[in-house]
A and B are shown apart, each in its own frame.
Chain A
Amino acid sequence: VSLFKLNEWIKAKEPLAFTRLSMICLPILSPLGLSLRNVQPDTKVPPDVFGEIKTKAEEVAGQPCPVQNN
């Protein structure tokens, strides 16, 4: 649920932010066989991966991301 919520958060930021994040996160998610474009509400990733993606999302958005990894 957390990664899905993070997706929703970044989609609400600047136009194309989600696309940018999707490309930026390719090397993080590709080894897991995942892409941000295909994330579903039940998609789970390890905590360290979520942390990496959240950091990248905050860089793209230029502000802290409130989504927590539950």
Chain B
Amino acid sequence: MTIHTEKLNTVPLQVVADLGRMVVGADAASSKAHILHCNYYNTYLLRTIWKDAGNFMDTRPILIGAAAEQARVQLCGLFRDLEIIDPTHRKVFVTNFYAWQGFGTVDLTQLTASGGVVTSSSQHYAEGWKTQFGKADAPVGLMTQGWLSGAADAIFDLEPGTLKPSQSECAAVTGGKSNVFHLSTEGEEFPIYNVGGVGSTLGTAAPEPVTNNVDSATVAQAVLGLPLFGDAQKTAGLVDTFGVLISWHPHQFYDRASFEMVHKAIELFGDEGRELAEPLLEEAGHRCAFRTFGGIWRSPEWAAVVEPMCKTREDWVHGMAAVVNCAGWGKVSCTKLTENEAEFVVVDDYESVGYNHLYGTPDFAPTYLFKGGFRGIMNLVYNGDIQSKPSLTEELYSDLITRDNAFEVEVLSCQAQGADRSVYRVSRNG
């Protein structure tokens, strides 16, 4: 069978700028909206769900199931849309798609419909874990385990969950580079989640930001022109930029894993469980802001494109909001801003869209990433003097969140609960 190589090497990404979304997949049932995150967010979230919440619930299967869902549903649709039939061709596409998302590389040559070994010398989560936490005491590739299981189901037209994953070698454990995954019909079961589609968005425009000097359209054009996606051959499937490793998960992976954990915490411990889990989910966002936003503010790209527009300190906030609007997170606008407080509005924030799509309407506000993110922006701009481009050290991080006048966030409204937007008020402690 002949097939155009270009089809196997090209991810059909649609940048839906007016919705603030990055969609891969042509049909409504299997498309997924991808979002930018960094290794600091990913591995902090992984530790929270896998290790911390793992003290009271079996979270490993949740993480595997969440990743398997994304891979299986999306790849089944893509194979259909792109008419990729032969398993050999499908493996090529899967390898490229995995790398495109910044996850690293996988060698699928030994994989068959009954399982096999998958090796990798480049893994986002393993490298990210080592950077943030040092060596791990167990293999950290849970996302990849699930993703490979879902991908194998799609490649060989298997029933969901047919091939169970495991990992025998992990670079985060050994400190080396080698990672070895296994897929088998025997093994640990995991929950089969099976929701497709990107979910409903309101599609309304974000409100106008408070007057500033940033040309958001120019910023967006520059950001979307950057090489922010991975490539198996050129970058070993990693996206090393702004001092972080970038990834492009479908947001429903985060939504599924995070909200399953929150739901279980509520089931076991009521509001106490939720209230203790939520600050850790927010903290992942704050770490993301410190590392990724901080890295962007310190980057030559910022200096070349955005910084010349920045006449005031406030413009640094608006400039970052313009960048965030290219991350697939929703449409962000800063509608009030002083050195002591800010109000951020987000239309179609990905956690709200994801919650509504996967679970319906919640009786709590399931928005964590933005809380941490906006707090991080204010801490860095107004307490961290990011304009002087300080080194992003753990000492600075600790100082920013423990000082008496650190910023805190209140959710004024949440789209997931029926509001027409999510609104966050950021103000100084006390």
Give 8 closest A-B pairs by Cβ, nearest first: A23-B276, A27-B56, A24-B55, A19-B279, A15-B401, A16-B283, A22-B276, A26-B269
Say yes or no: is A30 at the interface (Cβ < 8 Å to chain B): yes
How far is it, in angstroms, between the C-alpha of A36 and the C-alpha of B272 when the chains are bound? 11
Per-residue 0/1 for B396-412: is the Cβ within 8 Å of any A Cβ (1 yes, 0 no)?
01100110000000000
Give A26 to B397 CA distance when docked, in angstroms. Answer: 27
CB-CB under 8 A from B402, the residues of chain A are: 15
* Partner of B397 from A15, A22, A27, A37 at Cβ < 8 Å: A15
A7-50 residues with Cβ-Cβ distance < 8 A to B are: 14-16, 19-20, 22-27, 30, 35, 37
CB-based contact B398/A26 at 8 Å: no
In the assembled complex, the Cα of A26 lies from the Cα of B283 at a distance in Å of 19
The contact sample of 24 A-B pairs, CB cut-off 8 A, is A15-B397, A15-B398, A15-B401, A16-B280, A16-B283, A19-B276, A19-B279, A19-B283, A20-B52, A22-B276, A23-B55, A23-B276, A23-B277, A23-B280, A24-B52, A26-B56, A26-B265, A26-B273, A26-B276, A27-B55, A27-B268, A30-B268, A30-B272, A37-B276
Asked whether, in the complex, the Cβ of A23 is within 8 Å of the Cβ of B52, the reply is yes
* CB within 8 Å of A: which B54-89 residues: 55-56
The residues of B with any CB-CB pair to A shorter than 8 Å are: 48, 52-53, 55-56, 265, 268-269, 272-273, 276-277, 279-280, 283, 397-398, 401-402
* Residues A20 and B280 in contact in the complex (CB < 8 Å), given A26-B273, A27-B56, A56-B55: yes
Which A residues are in CB contact (< 8 Å) with B55? 23-27, 56
- B53: chain A residues at CB < 8 Å are 23
**Alpha-carbon distance between A15 and B56 when the two chains are bound, in angstroms:** 22
A30 to B401, CA, bound (A): 29
Which residue of A is nearest B51, CB measured? A24
Q: How far is the CA of A14 from the CA of B279 in the complex (A)?
A: 14
A52 to B239, CA, bound (A): 41
Q: Nearest Cβ in chain B — how far from A34, in angstroms? A: 10
Least CB separation from A35: chain B residue = B272
Nearest-neighbor residue (CB-CB) of B400 within chain A: A15
Q: What B residues does A16 contact at CB under 8 A?
A: 279-280, 283
Give every chain B residue within 8 A of A56 (Cβ-Cβ). Answer: 55
Query: Does the CB pair B280–A30 fall under 8 Å?
Result: no
A30 / chain B contacts, CB cutoff of 8 Å? 268-269, 272
Q: How far is the CB of B144 from chain A (nearest CB, A)?
A: 25
A26 to B276, CA, bound (A): 9
CB distance from B287 to the nearest CB of A (A): 9
Q: How far is the CA of A12 from the CA of B398 in the complex (A)?
A: 11
User: How many angstroms between the C-alpha atoms of A23 and B53 in the bound complex?
Assistant: 7
Complex: A14 Cα to B268 Cα, angstroms? 27
List 11 additional contacts besides A15-B401, A26-B276; criterion CB under 8 Å: A16-B283, A19-B276, A19-B280, A20-B52, A20-B280, A23-B273, A23-B276, A26-B56, A26-B265, A26-B272, A35-B272
The distance in angstroms between the C-alpha atoms of A25 and B56, with both chains bound, is 9
- Contact partners of B277 in chain A: CB under 8 A: 23
Collect the chain A residues with CB atoms within 8 Å of residue B52's CB: 20, 23-24
- Residues of A within 8 Å of B265, CB to CB, are 23, 26
Q: Report the Cα distance A15→B372, complex, angstroms.
A: 14
- Name the distance in Å between A14's Cβ and chain B's nearest Cβ: 7
How far apart are the CA atoms of A37 and B276 in the complex, in Å? 9
- Chain B residues lying within 8 Å of A27, measured Cβ to Cβ, are 55-56, 268
